[in-house]
A and B are shown apart, each in its own frame.
Chain A
């Protein structure tokens, strides 16, 4: 992976985008983001509980860089009730599956549907088949995933967090697809580094202690 960090020389503009990683447990979400952010891979990676936060900068061209604020979420089904907090204000999402696990591809499809239903309507979604170093154990044909991605209007990439294959390309492709025209961008509720932050709203209504008897809506 070769991501040259923008030096910020001259008139370089930096756009911030919030990106969320979703997908079934153990498909390699954390490994993917660690490969992208730190260019590292470790066979031993503890499971994610709650969510982890990362940032990484991708230069798009001489004048423009994109800074991704990445939320890496827990994959287990029961953590799903926490996920909306992370994708609610996301401008892009990476939905990951494991090419050796058919079920993880089905799960990815349900995440895509949920995002299309619940998230920002202009969210850019990338479908990622990870672990493509394990082609001998492939269970999801690349063509099938590509066909689904085309039909659903998603970016598609097969990656290997282990070897690093296509990981940089994936995020570069996402960066290029982001609305970098600043006027259009600001209409979409995103923000540039110059324009200050738009605050995600926090709904703690289902976490209030006064509510101990329940009525959680998640």
Chain B
């Protein structure tokens, strides 16, 4: 279909006003109050562009200007992110949708902080070195986001590239939402890369070639066996979701639209799609490590919107044809974000996010299609067709993730081992001065039968079973601490008017719970000596 090649001509109109508005203020402290997620259309909210700022012309009667969020679910958002040429179209919509996908509640409360984080000197070095350059005023916001993020989650380690990710959130969502969005993105999507070393990055990088080999073994032979090309050209692509490489932040936001609706493993599929899309030149080049590395490294910088859209479709196709359940049979570590993401999916699918909190009732509409699109063009019709035809009915898109191949037997074996590991860990390691170097916790359970990835849509029964038998309760002190913090957080909701308990959305409560779960996982990852 005739998608536009130039991103600038189509996507930039909203940038001016939104950026201008955002520069007016930055968060003054970690406690923020905002109206509910679904209030972006409310002109009283100073962080968001008003109706007149956003519109670039008189509304077209042909164009669906608003979509009722009540009709959305994860499947719908996925289809929009995948098939709409502009993803979620504009930053105003992203301010609504991204926080939902990231389980961000706009109530942001004081949480335990450490006074400093060991990675702060490195943060300081990288504030001025983001791929998308930031005006000085926004560098302060970036500093605030990064330091707050790491002080709140002291077990996370910073890697170069997170500055680029947070920059996309900052430029797209504005400083207030960006903080929470960045934090949750780290917890839900990037935490595998944020442990003490990069061993998990190697696992992701390895998956790229596994996939390429399955799809096209001739290409694989050539670039891997003959040229000896390591997959390191994709390091920044995976670590930053291409935000270190793409030519335009709008393009990065469009790609984030897609990734935020998908399992954290999806970027691997997109990278593979990119490699496969360059099959001909890759085969034509001299099979030389440096030549191929240089060529591939340059590709993202030349991508345009149409290319990105094509890659998204192809990545989705690859996921369907080669689902991770089939391709990576050994599965991922039970604490990997790849493995735990299905619970986020489950939450997004089953929860009624769209019930607005009482104070903002009536504004649960999201602006769509306010970008300047030539109405005679094919892409305009495609866009409209997409928006009109989205129905949350049969979700064939998710077929790849629904297969539930794990047997109960494996499950219970795993749980027994986990159980005994946990007991052993607490009982023996505390007092012993073991000379064994600390192992990365994702390496710890290598004696476990692998956990298949296909844990999307687990049955309620299975979830209950799993929760009660995993045996994590043996790690009482750590869990107790996190639980206390969670309770404290929950109490805030009741204590701080106007957020009376009845106003607190279920989403907020579950977000806290998911946060606590993520915190626990990270805690376990960072304290293998337990």
Taking Cβ atoms with an 8 Å cutoff, the residues of A that contact B are 25-26, 44-53, 55, 69, 74-76, 78-79, 81-82, 85, 197, 199-202, 204, 206-216, 218
Question: Which residues in A have their C-beta under 8 angstroms from that of B297?
Answer: 52-53
Question: Which residues in A have their C-beta under 8 angstroms from that of B500?
Answer: none
A210 to B210, CA, bound (A): 9
A107 to B133, CA, bound (A): 29
Supposing A50-B233, A78-B198 touch, asked if A214 and B440 sit within 8 A by C-beta, the answer is yes
A69 to B198, CA, bound (A): 26
Annotate B194-216 by CB proximity to A: 1 below 8 A, 0 otherwise: 00111100110111011000000
A209 touches B330 (CB 8 A): yes
Question: Which residues in B have their C-beta under 8 angstroms from that of A207?
Answer: 202-203, 205-206, 209, 231
A216 to B441, CA, bound (A): 12
CB closest residue in chain A, given B444: A214
CB closest residue in chain B, given A76: B160
Question: Which residues in A have their C-beta under 8 angstroms from that of B207?
Answer: 209
Name 13 A/B residue pairs within 8 A (Cβ), A-sorted: A46-B131, A46-B244, A76-B159, A79-B159, A197-B286, A199-B226, A204-B209, A207-B209, A211-B206, A212-B328, A214-B440, A216-B202, A218-B199
- Determine which of B129, B239, B443 lies in contact with A216 in the assembled complex, contact meaning CB atoms within 8 Å: B443
Question: Which residues in B have their C-beta under 8 angstroms from that of A25?
Answer: 122, 125-126, 160
A74 touches B203 (CB 8 A): no
**Contacts A25-B122, A82-B235 supplied; 15 other A-B pairs, CB < 8 Å:** A25-B160, A47-B125, A49-B239, A53-B294, A78-B157, A79-B198, A82-B232, A85-B232, A207-B209, A212-B331, A212-B332, A212-B450, A213-B443, A214-B333, A214-B439
CB distance from A94 to the nearest CB of B (A): 17
> Is B224 part of the contact surface with A, judged by Cβ < 8 Å?
yes
Number of A-B contacts (CB under 8 A): 148
A51 to B230, CA, bound (A): 12
> Is B442 part of the contact surface with A, judged by Cβ < 8 Å?
yes
> Is B327 part of the contact surface with A, judged by Cβ < 8 Å?
yes
B210 touches A209 (CB 8 A): yes
- Determine which of A82, A201, A214 lies in contact with B228 in the assembled complex, contact meaning CB atoms within 8 Å: A201
- Determine which of A44, A199, A206, A215 lies in contact with B128 in the assembled complex, contact meaning CB atoms within 8 Å: A44
B446 touches A197 (CB 8 A): no
A215 to B199, CA, bound (A): 8
A163 to B296, CA, bound (A): 32
A51 to B239, CA, bound (A): 13
A76 to B126, CA, bound (A): 10
B198 touches A82 (CB 8 A): yes
The 5 closest A-B pairs by CB, nearest first: A207-B206, A214-B443, A50-B235, A216-B199, A49-B236
Supposing A49-B236, A204-B206, A207-B206 touch, asked if A199 and B289 sit within 8 A by C-beta, the answer is yes
Pick the most buried of A44, A78, A206, A215: most chain B CB atoms within 10 A of its CB: A78
A212 touches B336 (CB 8 A): yes
Supposing A53-B290, A76-B122 touch, asked if A211 and B203 sit within 8 A by C-beta, the answer is yes
Question: Which residues in A have their C-beta under 8 angstroms from that of B198?
Answer: 78-79, 81-82, 218
- Determine which of B205, B228, B448 lies in contact with A213 in the assembled complex, contact meaning CB atoms within 8 Å: B448
A75 to B164, CA, bound (A): 16
Annotate B108-138 by CB proximity to A: 1 below 8 A, 0 otherwise: 0000000000000010011011110100000
A215 to B330, CA, bound (A): 14
Supposing A49-B240, A209-B206, A213-B446 touch, asked if A200 and B331 sit within 8 A by C-beta, the answer is no
Question: Which residues in A have their C-beta under 8 angstroms from that of B197?
Answer: 78, 81, 216, 218
Pick the most buried of A44, A81, A207: most chain B CB atoms within 10 A of its CB: A207
CB distance from A65 to the nearest CB of B (A): 18
> Which B420-439 residues sit within 8 Å CB-CB of chain A?
439
A212 touches B202 (CB 8 A): no
> Is B293 part of the contact surface with A, judged by Cβ < 8 Å?
yes
- Determine which of A51, A69, A202, A211 lies in contact with B229 in the assembled complex, contact meaning CB atoms within 8 Å: A202
> Which B285-340 residues sit within 8 Å CB-CB of chain A?
286, 288-290, 293-294, 297, 327-333, 336
Question: Which residues in B have their C-beta under 8 angstroms from that of A216?
Answer: 197, 199, 202-203, 440, 443
- Determine which of A206, A210, A213 lies in contact with B202 in the assembled complex, contact meaning CB atoms within 8 Å: A206
Pick the most buried of B163, B227, B228, B240: most chain A CB atoms within 10 A of its CB: B228
A47 to B174, CA, bound (A): 23
CB distance from B294 to the nearest CB of A (A): 5
CB distance from B300 to the nearest CB of A (A): 12
Question: Which residues in B have their C-beta under 8 angstroms from that of A26?
Answer: 125, 129
A26 to B231, CA, bound (A): 25
CB distance from B430 to the nearest CB of A (A): 23
Question: Which residues in B have their C-beta under 8 angstroms from that of A50?
Answer: 232-236, 239
A213 touches B333 (CB 8 A): yes
CB closest residue in chain A, given B202: A207
B228 touches A199 (CB 8 A): yes
Question: Which residues in A have their C-beta under 8 angstroms from that of B235?
Answer: 49-51, 82
A212 to B325, CA, bound (A): 13
Supposing A82-B235, A207-B206 touch, asked if A214 and B229 sit within 8 A by C-beta, the answer is no
Question: Which residues in A have their C-beta under 8 angstroms from that of B130?
Answer: 46
A10 to B236, CA, bound (A): 43
A74 to B122, CA, bound (A): 12
A26 to B239, CA, bound (A): 19
> Which B142-184 residues sit within 8 Å CB-CB of chain A?
157, 159-161, 163-164
- Determine which of A47, A69, A204 lies in contact with B160 in the assembled complex, contact meaning CB atoms within 8 Å: A47
> Is B445 part of the contact surface with A, judged by Cβ < 8 Å?
yes
- Determine which of A47, A200, A206, A212 lies in contact with B333 in the assembled complex, contact meaning CB atoms within 8 Å: A212
A125 to B227, CA, bound (A): 27
CB closest residue in chain B, given A53: B294
CB closest residue in chain A, given B453: A212
> Which B438-471 residues sit within 8 Å CB-CB of chain A?
439-440, 442-446, 448, 450
> Which B473-512 residues sit within 8 Å CB-CB of chain A?
none
Question: Which residues in A have their C-beta under 8 angstroms from that of B209?
Answer: 204, 207
